[in-house]
Amino acid sequence: MVEKLFWKDQYMKVFNATVVASEGGIELDRTAFYPTGGGQPCDIGTLSLGGDRINVVEVKKDGDRIIHLTEKDISITPGTTVVGEIDWGRRYAHMRYHTLLHIVDGVVEKYYGGKVTGGQIYQDRARMDFDIPMMDRQKADEIAAKAQEVIDEKRTVAQKFLSVDEAAAIPNLSRTLPGNELLKKLDSIRVIDIEGFDMQLDGGTHVANTSEIGKIRLDSYESRGAHNKRVSFVIES
């Protein structure tokens, strides 16, 4: 199984790896490239071998495999050593926005008794869909303000790996499927713990402290039905 360096060190920008296969995309024995999933887009960047630099334009999961798709089809002999480098500006933006959405999720649950029904991260914004009783633009502004308070409290953001029993004992750890359905599907139970505020199951990349997010702004509010309200956030600094 591929070693997920993006879990071991979410700030890793450059890494060494060995090619495992290159049919239909390059597979490595270890990678810092995050594959698309959980509402977070994949990393892009380069793979270097010898004097050649190959652009990685998409990274995706296929079961337990992580496939690096390149700008041009290329065959690399298995066993070849390569140096990977991710596009750090893109990755760090995703880390900030992903952590922001966790904070927003926590605010929605703690203060409004609502549920998140969807979300998507982009390099320049993030959106989240809610089911909140009597939701309106005023509440959306309140959610943004409460999220900013958490950001400004400079809380530590840590990743933890739990056993299935440990994870099952924590209420509402999985918020995308009812009960413990998602826990049963996973081999690695990874959670993101925002110190003293929120903990939830997640496989994405995050900043180490909420202060890294900076100042946020509610960009838009949209009603998409009685049980689906969409908000979009932008990080301004």
The pLDDT score that the predictor gives to residue 99 is 98
Model pLDDT for residues 3-62, shown as the tens digit of each residue: 999 999 999 999 999 999 999 999 999 999 999 998 999 999 999 998 899 999 999 999
C-alpha to C-alpha distance for 234 and 214, rounded to whole angstroms: 10
The pLDDT score that the predictor gives to residue 183 is 64
The pLDDT score that the predictor gives to residue 4 is 96
pTM exceeds 0.75? yes
C-alpha to C-alpha distance for 3 and 183, rounded to whole angstroms: 21
The pLDDT score that the predictor gives to residue 29 is 98
**pLDDT class of 227 with cuts at 50, 70, 90:** confident
In order of start, what are the domains of the chain with their CATH numbers? 3-86 (2.40.30.130), 91-235 (3.30.980.10)
User: 3-state DSSP call for residue 218?
Assistant: strand
More confident residue, 27 or 237: 27
Establish how many alpha carbons lie within 13 A of residue 198's alpha carbon, considering only the half-sphere containing its beta carbon: 22
The pLDDT score that the predictor gives to residue 195 is 97
C-alpha to C-alpha distance for 114 and 104, rounded to whole angstroms: 11
User: 3-state DSSP call for residue 181?
Assistant: helix
The pLDDT score that the predictor gives to residue 37 is 94
Interaxial angle between packed helices 88-112 and 137-152, expressed in degrees from 0 to 180 and rounded to the nearest 10: 120
The pLDDT score that the predictor gives to residue 27 is 97
Model pLDDT for residues 162-220, shown as the tens digit of each residue: 988 888 788 878 766 554 565 666 666 899 999 999 999 899 999 999 999 999 999 99
219-222, Cβ contacts within 8 angstroms, sequence gap of 24 or more? 219/125, 221/137, 221/140
Model pLDDT for residues 83-128, shown as the tens digit of each residue: 999 999 999 999 999 999 999 999 999 999 888 889 999 999 999 9
